[in-house]
Amino acid sequence: MQKNPQNNSLNHPQDYKQQVNHLAHLVEQAKTVCVFTGAGASTESGIPDYRSRFGIWTKMEEEGKDPQYFAHYKRLVEDPAEFFGRRIGNGPGPKPNPGHYALAQMEGAGKDIRIVTQNVDGLHQEAGHRSVVELHGSHHRWYCMGCDRPYKFQELRYDHQHVPRCYICNGVVRPDVVYFGENIDPKIVAQAERAVAAADLLLIVGTTLATGRAKRLARSYTGGPVVVINCDEISIQPIKVDLFIQAGFAQVMQDLKTRLDHI
């Protein structure tokens, strides 16, 4: 069955049930599943996404602001007070949603499910998932830009401008996150490439694959079917999509797990 996001705007309940059954069948048949997750997987944990209708970047662009400017490495270096002043709240807080747990439980039950995530919230690991590649780093890990000393979020101490500072050298302590203007560590890219190459089923969840790296990774996939799960209709051309489910991550993953439990 071929389905294209563009012509799947009607999503009747019976269609959804059939789609989840189809997905369960594909997962059951697959030896290795690669799940590519983006911001849409975390919105149900209370973290706003970037590019959906109500996303952070969509809102900024509507206000005439350039989102790349606010999350650019140059700003972190040149004006850390401004950078951290605008980004307070990044760090642990949100909890995994039922979708994260369902995926982790499927892995725990013996399915080879390798996650490649664009998210920096660490929620897949917190839910217990073991095979996770964090393409853009993690807000759970921080390090000093002066001496490289690693820090945990809970250890951070801030100066009067609310800039996290190193106990040893007083350097700026930053999240181990890839900002605009920075490159992904080649070792992480290689891990992600291995996860994609090993898979014979690719699920693309909650992401429009807007960054070049994410798109190139997905395009490098030569395994079996491709399934897209997203709340909004999206286009990820030129990737050929075998099944599109227009629904939320948590709902689909829970229903998938329930279905697999009964196979």
Comparing CB distances to Zn ion, the nearer of 57 and 142 is: 142
Has 147 been labeled as part of a binding site? Answer: yes
Catalytic residue among 22, 124, 136, 140: 136
Contacts of 12 (CB under 8 A, 6+ apart): none
Q: How far is the CB of 165 from Zn ion (least distance, A)?
A: 8
Q: Residue 151 or residue 244: which is nearer to Zn ion going by CB?
A: 151
Q: Kindly state the smallest distance separating residue 160's Cβ from Zn ion, in Å.
A: 18
Rounded to a whole number of angstroms, the minimum distance from the CB of residue 140 to Zn ion is 19
* Tokens representing residue 181 in the block: 């203007």
Is the Cβ of residue 69 or residue 167 nearer to Zn ion in the bound state?
167
Structure tokens at 247: 């629904």
| Residue that has been written with the tokens 């629904």 in this structure | 247
Select from 151, 157, 155 the least CA-distant residue to 138.
151
- Residue 169 annotated as lining a ligand binding site: yes
Distance CA 245, CA 76 (A): 38
Computed on alpha carbons and rounded to an integer, the radius of gyration of the chain in Å comes to: 19
CA distance 19 to 76: 44
CB of 169 to Zn ion, least distance (A): 3
Instruction: Please identify, using beta-carbon distances, which residue of 48 and 150 lies nearer to Zn ion.
Output: 150
List strands edge to edge, sheet with 112-117.
Answer: 132-134, 112-117, 32-37, 201-205, 226-229, 243-245
* 101 beta partners: none
In order, the DSSP letters of 65-121 are --HHHHTBHHHHHH-HHHHHHHSTT-SS-----HHHHHHHHHHHTT-EEEEEE---S
Is 34 labelled as part of a ligand binding site? Answer: no
Q: Between 165 and 259, whose beta carbon lies closer to Zn ion?
A: 165
Binding site for Zn ion (CB under 5 A): 144, 146-147, 149, 166, 168-169, 171
Q: Which two tokens stand for residue 10?
A: 């009607």
Q: How many of the other CB atoms lie within 10 Å of CB of 239?
A: 15
The reply to whether 136 belongs to the active site is yes
Residues annotated as part of the active site:
136
Annotated binding site for Zn(2+): 144, 147, 166, 169
Binding-site residue ranges:
144, 147, 166, 169
